[in-house]
A and B are shown apart, each in its own frame.
Chain A
Amino acid sequence: MGSVTVMPRRKPGRNRPQRPKPSLHAPGADAFRCAHCRLDVPLAAPGTAHRNHCPHCLTSLHLDRDVPGDRRAACGGRMRPISLTTRPDGEWLIIHECAACGTLSANRIAGDDNPLPLIRLALRPLTTPHLLASDPRLSPGSAFPGIPS
């Protein structure tokens, strides 16, 4: 793996330590391979104890059910990011949807996640305004509601 450029993050200090995640990867392994882009991903992630998605393409695997690291999901399907949400303190969470069974899950972004797919995910509702474009009160074709294109 080449050098990874980590962008500076605007994150307030965390007041509660994360619960430890038992490492259930292969014994002795310090990395896993992304199911989508085949990137070798180190298990240690800056800013989070729960690395669950590839920092390059944000793809995850449907392994955990309720608690990070419990490995109680029998599905094992690929989970693609579908949207972003924020916590009240401004932290971003990625919503993943399992391509096999449709289950949704949320996970905090890591410090080395690629900013470009993150921004693309954040902008996706604004660039595909299917609902807003069908509103007769708004000008058709306008990417932003209320602002004529």
Chain B
Amino acid sequence: MSTTFPRVTETFDCVRCGLTVTTFGPDGERRHHCPACLHSRHVLDQAEGGPSECRAAMTPISIAAPRDGGWRVIHRCTRCGQLASAPVHADDNRLILVRMAVRPLAQPPFPLETLGNL
């Protein structure tokens, strides 16, 4: 990557939907995933630290809401199964985010109506 251009012009292609995405989001933070489909690429080794040689696509599987604010997306690598988390950006696809957040409640493993009797 040439250093003569400002960093704001850097882009990457989404590993799943092929969208050309600016590397830095509107808030100046470096993106970890495509804002349209929320998929990511496995380039960081979470267990060992440092770069990963996997480079497979990582699918978003859930939303974590830490106490100190900010939603985080949990990704799972489709090839090696490693999990990673990344903060949500302001222009991420709201439909996919909310769909992931409510997905467990759509198919509860126990009848939710019995919770009202407790």
A85 touches B46 (CB 8 A): no
Judged by a CB distance under 8 angstroms, whether B1 is at the interface is: no
By beta carbon, the residue of chain A nearest B87 is A131
Q: What are 12 sample pairs from A and B whose C-beta atoms fall under 8 A apart?
A: A10-B110, A82-B64, A83-B74, A85-B74, A103-B47, A106-B83, A109-B109, A122-B108, A125-B64, A128-B69, A132-B98, A135-B94
**B24 to nearest A CB, angstroms?**
18
Please count the residue pairs between chain A and chain B whose beta carbons lie under 8 angstroms apart in the complex.
94
Q: Which of B67-82 contact A (CB under 8 A)?
A: 67, 69-71, 74, 76
Judged by a CB distance under 8 angstroms, whether B66 is at the interface is: yes
User: Which B residues form the contact surface with A (CB < 8 A)?
Assistant: 46-47, 61-67, 69-71, 74, 76, 83-85, 88, 90, 94, 97-98, 100-105, 107-112, 114-115, 118
Provide the residues of chain A in CB contact with B61, threshold 8 Å: 85, 95
Provide the residues of chain A in CB contact with B67, threshold 8 Å: 128
B98 touches A145 (CB 8 A): yes
Provide the residues of chain A in CB contact with B115, threshold 8 Å: 115-116, 119
Interface size on A, residues (CB 8 A): 37
A65 touches B47 (CB 8 A): yes
By beta carbon, the residue of chain B nearest A104 is B83
A83 touches B63 (CB 8 A): yes
Complex: how many Å from CA A49 to CA B110?
19
Which of A65, A91, A116 is B109 in contact with, Cβ under 8 Å?
A91
Provide the residues of chain A in CB contact with B100, threshold 8 Å: 85
- Enumerate the 10 nearest inter-chain pairs by beta-carbon distance, A residue then B residue, closest first: A90-B107, A85-B62, A104-B83, A83-B64, A125-B101, A82-B64, A85-B61, A125-B63, A122-B104, A128-B65
Judged by a CB distance under 8 angstroms, whether A71 is at the interface is: no
B104 touches A86 (CB 8 A): yes
Provide the residues of chain B in CB contact with A128, threshold 8 Å: 65, 67, 69
Given the interface contacts A83-B63, A135-B94, does A130 sit within 8 Å of B104 by beta carbon? no
Judged by a CB distance under 8 angstroms, whether A84 is at the interface is: yes
**B3 to nearest A CB, angstroms?**
31
A83 touches B110 (CB 8 A): no
Q: Which of A101-149 contact B (CB under 8 A)?
A: 103-106, 109, 115-116, 119, 122-128, 130-132, 134-135, 145
Complex: how many Å from CA A105 to CA B76?
10
B71 touches A131 (CB 8 A): yes
B62 touches A83 (CB 8 A): yes
